[in-house]
Copies of this chain bind each other. A is one copy, B any other.
Amino acid sequence: MGLSYPLFLVNFKSYRGTAGEDALPFLETIERVSRETGTRFAVAPQLPDLRWLADRTDLPLVAQTALPRERAGMGDVSLESVADAGVAGAFLSHPERTVGLEALRPAIDRCRELDLESIVWVPDRETARAALALEPDCLLFERPADIASTEGMVRTDPERIERFVETVLAADSGTGKRPHVFVGGGVRTGEDVARVFACGVDATGAASAAVEADDRETWLRAVADAVPGSLE
């Protein structure tokens, strides 16, 4: 299915209070805020819930990890199985889950065959230039140190994000198509979301800030206010 942008992704990782039945009211709140504000949200649920939740929500779901079936061993999650479950995309790599250069191309190609949005993590512009050659659908630009931080680059160094967006735009001038840019790490408030979209990105998201918000609906509405565009 792939993902549509602009987008805000709520990442459950393995947080308490986001598995199984606990996920349902959270998803309902996100759906309501999405519907009422016309803002695109996606969710990366806990892996064992993936298909169960896909039956219970219209929100696009993203697999926290996956790889081509023929490379999957015991305990791995195949791209084929998450596509079959109805998810829209998959993180092929992430600051907390690095993947060898050699594994990316087969995974990106398989995503294309399965109509899954392929999301590949890069820590800097130079690495982004390399990743561009593999033609992923979406580049996740995130510094490992920014995870769960209150001092992420969105607050301390937005120019870095702007330069990253420029690099991606410039690199693709020839082909006319370019991957989407997702900036993650340290996004904690609606103000952060506004600031990161002002840098020209296509998507951002949060994990701990979303899960730990005192009032999730209030938090989500503040985020929705800051995501440009609408679902129409």
A27 → B minimal CB distance (Å): 14
Known contacts A75-B91, A81-B48, A127 near B102 by CB under 8 Å: yes
Q: Are A48 and B63 in contact (CB under 8 A)?
A: yes
A126 and B134 alpha carbons, distance in the complex (Å): 7
Is A51 an interface residue when CB atoms closer than 8 A count as contact? Answer: yes
Q: Contacts of A13 on B, CB cut-off 8 Å? A: 72-74
Number of copies: 4
Binds B, one of A30-38, A116-124, A188-196, A211-219: A116-124
A226 and B131 alpha carbons, distance in the complex (Å): 37
Is A105 an interface residue when CB atoms closer than 8 A count as contact? Answer: yes
The B-contacting residues of A in range 79-111, CB under 8 angstroms, are 80-82, 84-85, 87, 91, 93-105
Interface centre among A69, A102, A127, by most chain B C-beta atoms within 10 angstroms, is A102
Q: Are A81 and B127 in contact (CB under 8 A)?
A: no
A102 and B99 alpha carbons, distance in the complex (Å): 9
Contact size range, A: 35 or more
Is A149 an interface residue when CB atoms closer than 8 A count as contact? Answer: no
Q: Are A101 and B80 in contact (CB under 8 A)?
A: no
The 3 A-B residue pairs whose C-beta atoms are closest, nearest first, are: A65-B75, A98-B100, A48-B50
28 residue pairs of the A-B complex, CB under 8 angstroms, read A13-B72, A14-B69, A14-B72, A14-B76, A14-B81, A19-B81, A19-B84, A22-B84, A47-B77, A48-B50, A48-B51, A48-B63, A49-B50, A49-B85, A51-B51, A51-B52, A65-B74, A73-B97, A74-B91, A74-B94, A93-B100, A93-B102, A100-B100, A101-B131, A105-B127, A127-B134, A129-B134, A132-B133
Known: A46-B78, A48-B87. 10 other contacts (CB 8 A): A14-B69, A47-B48, A48-B63, A48-B77, A65-B74, A65-B75, A104-B130, A105-B127, A130-B133, A133-B133
